[in-house]
Amino acid sequence: MSKVLNGLHYTKSHEWVKIEGNEAVIGISDYAQHSLGNIVYLETKEVGEDLTQFDELGTIESVKAASDILSPLSGSIIALNDEVIDRPELINDDPYGCWLVKMIIKDSNEINNLLTAEQYQLESK
């Protein structure tokens, strides 16, 4: 069974988001990295780009498949994790320690459209 961390919010498409004030830290879940297998490529939108909730945030590729990464919330990207972009295989070792982007949250009410850890755990069985 995949690891799910309490205190995070999740999407049905297997992204996680940690809320820190008006900022969101975004990554992919343990379930996602396990399903993908060995991750070999990661591309994200750029700093300064504005996204709407569930818009494409980036692309992740493994030896088995390629998948879109969706933005859990609307907002503006303020930081990229260059280390993970350069070495995407790190996600396989620690998906919750390897955030992908940080963004300023545009509408905190959108958090209600996300899953809690408990709900996500039930969804991803």
User: What pLDDT shows up at residue 124?
Assistant: 76
User: What pLDDT shows up at residue 123?
Assistant: 85
Q: Which CATH architecture has domain 13-106?
A: Beta Barrel (2.40)
pLDDT digits (tens, 9 = 90+) for 20-60: 999 999 999 999 999 999 999 999 999 999 999 999 999 99
Domain ranges of the chain: 13-106
User: What pLDDT shows up at residue 91?
Assistant: 98
Residue pair 16/5 in contact (Cβ under 8 Å)? The answer is: yes
Q: Indicate the average pLDDT of the chain.
A: 96
Mean pLDDT across the stretch 90-119? 97
User: What pLDDT shows up at residue 1?
Assistant: 64
Residue 125 has pLDDT above 70, yes or no: no
CA distances (Å), 112 to each of 49, 65, 66, in order?
23, 30, 28
What separation, in Å, do the N-terminal and C-terminal C-alpha atoms of the chain show? 8
CA distances (Å), 99 to each of 24, 30, 91, 109, in order?
10, 12, 9, 22
pLDDT digits (tens, 9 = 90+) for 56-100: 999 999 999 999 999 999 999 999 999 999 999 999 999 999 999
Which range (26-30, 96-100, 106-110, 120-124) has the least confidence? 120-124
Q: What is the share, in percent, of the chain residues with pLDDT greater than 90?
A: 96
